[in-house]
């Protein structure tokens, strides 16, 4: 499982404040802790900074890359900010995110050709949020074909069947798992990814829901997850489920996790 550390998200007040006042120590500390906990990417979401997004990415990306061995997931819908971020990022970034929306395709495709990032594709288009797993699969198919024509390799594509809060719609969890399974079956050579914590918005004991949801998703073939790797409960669930599903050769990750959590 590829872990994308979610903590540097500007929707969190402490992060928004740190980014606004350019608190180097806080930003670096949050990123390094996630790297040490097993993240393969650090998601950097700047959406709440509005007109200061571009400036913030230009500040934060070199700052973080000086301290980290892992690349960043640049999480913004703003094409100018994305361009500035990709330009300054060293090595292959993760672009978070493309979707089936015509305007998003038009503005992001040239960036993909120029900078060759790995790409998250949200299963969403101009008709809005898909109501069925077949619709999500059809968006995924269309986007994989389109990216393939642009020369993007399947291993660089991450399909994100949207995770919606079950507090809003109780069918959301089931719909996601069904879409995930269909996408994995029909497009086995591309990766799947999900923002696990979305499922629990607004509910008590969010961590219990996130943990159970991650395990269910792993069973259906989720390849990558945007989550909080500092949440030791969710990490324990992840390492246990991987071990049980035969996805952890020699139980290396499981045993490493147990050893490091004892310290």
By CB under 6 A, name the binding residues for ligand THG: 6, 9, 11-12, 45, 75, 96-97, 120, 160, 163, 195, 197-198, 226
Q: How far is the CB of 251 from ligand THG (least distance, A)?
A: 29
Length, in residues, of the chain: 263
Crossing angle of helices 79-88/102-115, nearest 10°? 10
- In the complex with ligand THG, which residue's Cβ is closer, 56 or 96? 96
- In the complex with ligand THG, which residue's Cβ is closer, 82 or 248? 82
Q: Which residue has the tokens 């060759």?
A: 116
- In the complex with ligand THG, which residue's Cβ is closer, 195 or 248? 195
Crossing angle of helices 232-244/252-262, nearest 10°? 150
Q: Which residues pair with 75 in a beta bridge?
A: 45, 96
DSSP string, 134-156: HHHHHHHHHHHHHHHHTT--GGG
Instruction: List Cα–Cα distances, 141 to 22, 67, 101, 129, 262, in angstroms.
Output: 41, 37, 14, 16, 44
- In the complex with ligand THG, which residue's Cβ is closer, 198 or 217? 198
- In the complex with ligand THG, which residue's Cβ is closer, 94 or 241? 94
- In the complex with ligand THG, which residue's Cβ is closer, 33 or 243? 33
CA-based torsion, 162, 167, 169, 175: positive or negative:
positive
Q: Are 6 and 227 in contact (CB under 8 A)?
A: yes
Q: How far is the CB of 249 from ligand THG (least distance, A)?
A: 28
DSSP string, 56-104: HHHHHHHHHHHH-SS-EEEE-S-HHHHHHHHHH--S--EEEEEES-HHH
Q: How far is the CB of 195 from ligand THG (least distance, A)?
A: 2
Q: What is the largest CA-CA distance in the chain?
A: 50
Question: What residue is closest to ligand THG based on CB?
Answer: 195
- In the complex with ligand THG, which residue's Cβ is closer, 18 or 226? 226
Quote the CA–CA distance of 169 and 162 in Å, as a whole number.
13
Q: How far is the CB of 16 from ligand THG (least distance, A)?
A: 11
Q: How far is the CB of 4 from ligand THG (least distance, A)?
A: 8
C-beta atoms surrounding 16 within 10 Å? 16
Q: How far is the CB of 231 from ligand THG (least distance, A)?
A: 9
Q: How far is the CB of 259 from ligand THG (least distance, A)?
A: 25
């Amino acid at each position: 499982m590829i872990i994308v550390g979610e903590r540097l998200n500007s929707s969190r007040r402490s992060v928004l404040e740190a980014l606004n006042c350019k608190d180097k120590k806080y930003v670096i500390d949050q990123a390094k802790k996630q790297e040490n906990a097993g993240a393969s990417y650090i998601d950097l979401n700047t959406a709440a900074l509005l007109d200061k997004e571009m400036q913030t990415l230009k500040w934060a990306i070199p700052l973080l890359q000086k301290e980290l061995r892992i690349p960043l997931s640049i999480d913004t819908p703003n094409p100018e900010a994305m361009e500035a971020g990709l330009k300054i990022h060293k090595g292959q970034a993760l672009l978070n995110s493309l979707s089936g929306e015509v305007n998003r395709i038009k503005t992001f495709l040239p960036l993909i050709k120029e900078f060759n990032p790995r790409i998250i594709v949200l299963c969403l288009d101009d008709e809005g949020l898909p109501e069925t797993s077949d619709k999500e699969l059809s968006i995924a198919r269309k986007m994989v074909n389109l990216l393939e024509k642009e020369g993007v390799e399947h291993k660089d594509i991450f399909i994100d069947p949207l995770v919606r809060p079950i507090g809003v719609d109780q069918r959301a969890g089931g719909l996601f798992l069904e879409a995930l399974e269909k996408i994995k079956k029909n497009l086995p050579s591309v990766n799947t990814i999900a923002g696990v914590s979305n499922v629990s918005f607004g509910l008590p004991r969010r961590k219990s829901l996130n943990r159970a949801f991650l395990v269910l998703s792993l069973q259906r073939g989720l390849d990558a997850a945007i989550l909080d790797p500092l949440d030791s409960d969710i990490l324990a669930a992840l390492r246990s489920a991987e071990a049980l599903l035969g996805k952890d050769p020699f139980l290396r990750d499981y045993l490493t996790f147990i050893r490091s959590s004892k310290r």
